[in-house]
Structure 1
Amino acid sequence: MLNKNYPLSMWLKYLEKSDKKIIYNLTELKNFAEKLNLLNSKAFIFTVGGTNGKGTTCAMLERLLLNSGYQVGLYTSPHLINFVERVRINGFFINESEYISSFQNIESVRNGMLLTYFEFITLSALILFKKYSLDVLILEVGLGGRLDATNIIDSNISIITNIGIDHTALLGTDRASIAREKSGIFRKNKISVIGEIDIPESMYQIAKEKKTILKKINKDWSWEKKSNYWNFIHSNIQLYNLPITQIPLSNAATALAALYYSDFKVNEKIIRESLSNVQLSGRFQVLSTFPHIIIDVAHNSDAALYLSKKIDEIDIKGKIYAVVGILNDKDILGIINPLKNKISYWFAAPLKTIRTATKNQLKNIFTMNNTCVLNSIYEAYQAAYLSVKKQDAIIVFGSFLTVSEFLSLKL
């Protein structure tokens, strides 16, 4: 076992190396968490699942509650630059020594129990939360829901942002199967706020089995976008002329709906201020103009389609160049097709992970004449930057790891 003198980076390498590869049911993990006294939080708990938009929904909830004076803990993933981004206490990251202490706590009592990397760091987050007197915990599901480590916690309100095709090897190849897995976060007699418009029947079936109370978009709550404002309608309140957010309105609205079903007290002035200020790194983030340099973590077809629509909203006078890195288990064509008609030239490259689509795989997929496959994201960006004029744009996307790698470059 590593001791307190080892840095966080060494602990993380240790966890990655010892990561078990098979995900079992959560019974053993829940029993272990109970031994650590992690299942009896007095805080109100939101668990946020879905294919896309989990991070921005969590960020919106966090901002609304913090601005209203509540003590809030947030657990989110993945991180972009630094591991400590995964946990925030009252809007702030905590220091590495606290993580190391929580890791030691887990390691000292697990007695050889196998844990995935994500299971280990989820337990760590719950240990960190116990150190603070928090009113609210916001837990972002890592993958799926039913077998995700966050699902050992019984939430007061669960949220499902949407259902799209992603992680098919683990969750299933159709929306019905994926919805069934994500519905695993439902709880008996508790509310689940659903932001998905086209709800698969399997989700209704799980809700009925679990006796979960569904609160659905366009039935129990709704939102509508106008030219330069939007409206939110809920059984408890109607809000008009709201400011346009820097995050997707669908996720801002889903967070608002969940907030109102929780009965936390948030006044309208704070809502309007929060909507204007909330943002999240890597989500259609404009780093510069002249030329435009934009980063986005879009890594599946639905997210790529949203990215395509966002590009339409900004005034790019010239050409658009794409810097792309994608994981090999993704639907690569599904990611690039929504943008094919907008991109003037593609610069693709493998990522610094064994999960990356290799250079040869990229060459077999990016067969268009307007494509160059290079050795790294650094090379891809340098090639793109040498090509652009002031009126042009560079879009960096394809994975969280693509954006993370780009942000780590010393440009």
Structure 2
Amino acid sequence: MDIKHNALLTWLEYLKKFNKNITLNLTNVYLIAKRLNLLSMNAFIFTVAGTNGKGTTCAMLEKIFLNSGYRVGLYTSPHIVSYLERVKINGNILEEQYHVFSFLQIEKARGSIILSFFEFITLSALFLFKHYLLDIIILEVGLGGRLDATNIIDSNISIITNIGIDHISLLGADRESIAREKSGIFRSGRIAIIGDSNIPNCINKIAKSNKVILKKNNIDWYWTHNHNNSWNFFHEYINIYNLDIPKIPISSVSVALSAVYYSGLQVNINTIRKSISTIYLIGRFHTISYFPQIILDVAHNADAALYLSKKIRKMNIHGKIYAIIGILNDKDIRNIILPLKHTINYWYAAPLKTNRTATIYQLKKYLFTDNTFFLKNIHKAWIEVKKRLHPEDLVIVFGSFITVSEFIIAKKIDG
């Protein structure tokens, strides 16, 4: 690559070629991290895995610790609109030049060693974190856990938010197999927090054999609803009553709170309350408009779609409900659509701008009623939906991170 042309977009186009370099071991990424002295971070580290809720759990942790005065680094994936979203330092994205400099260092260090795209950018994030004086680093696992690039780092606390069926070609077709991969982030003698209340047997076995300290939902900590539209959090170390209902799932907030209190890092209850009342995350049941109401949600597997359907049914919608949907072809299309089949009045389905998209033909297998319309892309879908909207209607955009991203771009263009 000609490093004279080192703008961020040029680099990202170059790194896309690395997508085919998917390895099933951490040897190469570990070697380069060792060369760059990235394996030991002088910070308290949380590693967050799970089928759903990773992003919201990471965001909640970040919010609480920033509001408590800590210096925090956050690494998440995928991004919604811009690559810059993936790395945050003290709640802020970095300017492009810092990423470009980091990419250059990783490229020089790797030499002829082959990396995947995700391995490369994970090393880049770690390189950036290493050069800031951070108290806390939060790493969101990209896929699985055991063989994910983030797993070259030994975390102080590992978290599995939940365990559902997704990425079966890489992680396995049942919860036991998937849990085994996710529990690869556990570290001997350290705490591992499990947000799923139905824990596969292998997790207990792996934790026992590796002397991992498991902290389980509904056993070591739990939460309850109140009748006054608030909730309570109960933990081995603290009980907190009458918390505001957050704009992200309470399950994610409670997992994050459990991790905060098991970490031993100092926070106060007023900071916790403030953080919960102000947290939100783009694309997680995220309202961007009222009258009509438009909600963005990155739900892209069966469990997330079921949660989304429950949220919509609790809403008091007086008008029609429109769905704009695009899905990747390696997802469980049927069970992403099924939970919402009888809730949505009109479906607007479209392929996404990626070679991994589900085609119109694939979508038609599960959306074949008179209330479904198939468009060339998400932008065209939005144009058509707008023609029919009334102030009392609801538009829900879901199916993939890419769906939400393409809709945001379309709405910026057309309003």
Q: 1:315 to 1:68 in 2, by over 3 A?
A: same
Kindly state the Cα deviation for residue 5 of structure 1 after the two structures are TM-superposed.
Answer: 4.0
2:357 alignment partner in structure 1: 356
Cα deviation 1:254-296 (Å, max 9, x = unaligned): 0000000000110011110011011100111111111111111
2:124 alignment partner in structure 1: 124
- Which one-letter code corresponds to 1:20 in the other structure? K
Question: In 2, are the aligned partners of 1:51 and 1:166 still within 8 Å (CA)?
Answer: yes
Kindly state the Cα deviation for residue 313 of structure 1 after the two structures are TM-superposed.
Answer: 2.7
Cα deviation 1:68-114 (Å, max 9, x = unaligned): 11000000011001100000000000011000001000111212111
Kindly state the Cα deviation for residue 390 of structure 1 after the two structures are TM-superposed.
Answer: 1.7
In 2, distance between residues paired with 1:174 and 1:138? 28
284-293 or 359-368: bigger deviation: 359-368
Question: In 2, are the aligned partners of 1:4 and 1:104 still within 8 Å (CA)?
Answer: no
Kindly state the Cα deviation for residue 302 of structure 1 after the two structures are TM-superposed.
Answer: 0.5
- Look up the SS of the partner of 2:73 in the other structure: strand
In 2, distance between residues paired with 1:19 and 1:100? 19
Question: In 2, are the aligned partners of 1:4 and 1:100 still within 8 Å (CA)?
Answer: no
> 1:234-273 alignment to 2 at 5 Å?
234-273=235-274
- Look up the SS of the partner of 1:40 in the other structure: coil
> 1:8-407 alignment to 2 at 5 Å?
8-227=8-227, 228-407=229-408
- Look up the SS of the partner of 2:365 in the other structure: helix
- Which one-letter code corresponds to 2:326 in the other structure? G
Kindly state the Cα deviation for residue 21 of structure 1 after the two structures are TM-superposed.
Answer: 3.5
Kindly state the Cα deviation for residue 361 of structure 1 after the two structures are TM-superposed.
Answer: 1.6
In 2, distance between residues paired with 1:35 and 1:116? 17
Q: 1:108 to 1:215 in 2, by over 3 A?
A: same
Question: In 2, are the aligned partners of 1:20 and 1:114 still within 8 Å (CA)?
Answer: no
Cα deviation 1:215-249 (Å, max 9, x = unaligned): 00111111112231000011110100111111100
Kindly state the Cα deviation for residue 4 of structure 1 after the two structures are TM-superposed.
Answer: 5.2
In 2, distance between residues paired with 1:180 and 1:348? 35
Kindly state the Cα deviation for residue 28 of structure 1 after the two structures are TM-superposed.
Answer: 2.9
In 2, distance between residues paired with 1:209 and 1:300? 31
Kindly state the Cα deviation for residue 18 of structure 1 after the two structures are TM-superposed.
Answer: 3.0
In 1, distance between residues paired with 2:382 and 2:207? 46
In 1, distance between residues paired with 2:23 and 2:175? 21
User: Percent of counterpart pairs with the same letter?
Assistant: 59
In 1, distance between residues paired with 2:21 and 2:360? 26
- Which one-letter code corresponds to 1:368 in the other structure? T
In 2, distance between residues paired with 1:220 and 1:24? 34
- Look up the SS of the partner of 1:147 in the other structure: coil
Kindly state the Cα deviation for residue 171 of structure 1 after the two structures are TM-superposed.
Answer: 0.5
- Which one-letter code corresponds to 1:216 in the other structure? K
Normalised by the size of structure 1, how large is the TM-score? 0.98
- Look up the SS of the partner of 1:308 in the other structure: helix
- Look up the SS of the partner of 2:330 in the other structure: coil
Cα deviation 1:113-155 (Å, max 9, x = unaligned): 1111000000000000011000000000000001000000000
In 1, distance between residues paired with 2:294 and 2:149? 36
Question: In 2, are the aligned partners of 1:4 and 1:101 still within 8 Å (CA)?
Answer: no
Kindly state the Cα deviation for residue 205 of structure 1 after the two structures are TM-superposed.
Answer: 1.8
- Which one-letter code corresponds to 1:63 in the other structure? K
Kindly state the Cα deviation for residue 207 of structure 1 after the two structures are TM-superposed.
Answer: 1.3
Gaps of 5+ in 1: none
In 2, distance between residues paired with 1:81 and 1:200? 35
Kindly state the Cα deviation for residue 161 of structure 1 after the two structures are TM-superposed.
Answer: 0.4
150-159 or 11-20: bigger deviation: 11-20
Q: How big is the alpha-carbon RMSD for the aligned residues of Structure 1 and Structure 2?
A: 1.0
- Look up the SS of the partner of 1:19 in the other structure: helix
Question: In 1, are the aligned partners of 2:77 and 2:142 still within 8 Å (CA)?
Answer: yes
In 2, distance between residues paired with 1:178 and 1:15? 28
Kindly state the Cα deviation for residue 364 of structure 1 after the two structures are TM-superposed.
Answer: 2.8
In 1, distance between residues paired with 2:359 and 2:289? 29
Kindly state the Cα deviation for residue 358 of structure 1 after the two structures are TM-superposed.
Answer: 1.1
What is the aligned length?
A: 411
288-297 or 347-356: bigger deviation: 288-297
Kindly state the Cα deviation for residue 380 of structure 1 after the two structures are TM-superposed.
Answer: 1.1
- Which one-letter code corresponds to 2:352 in the other structure? L
- Look up the SS of the partner of 1:63 in the other structure: helix
In 2, distance between residues paired with 1:399 and 1:333? 14
Normalised by the size of structure 2, how large is the TM-score? 0.97
- Look up the SS of the partner of 1:365 in the other structure: coil
304-313 or 270-279: bigger deviation: 304-313
In 2, distance between residues paired with 1:15 and 1:248? 34
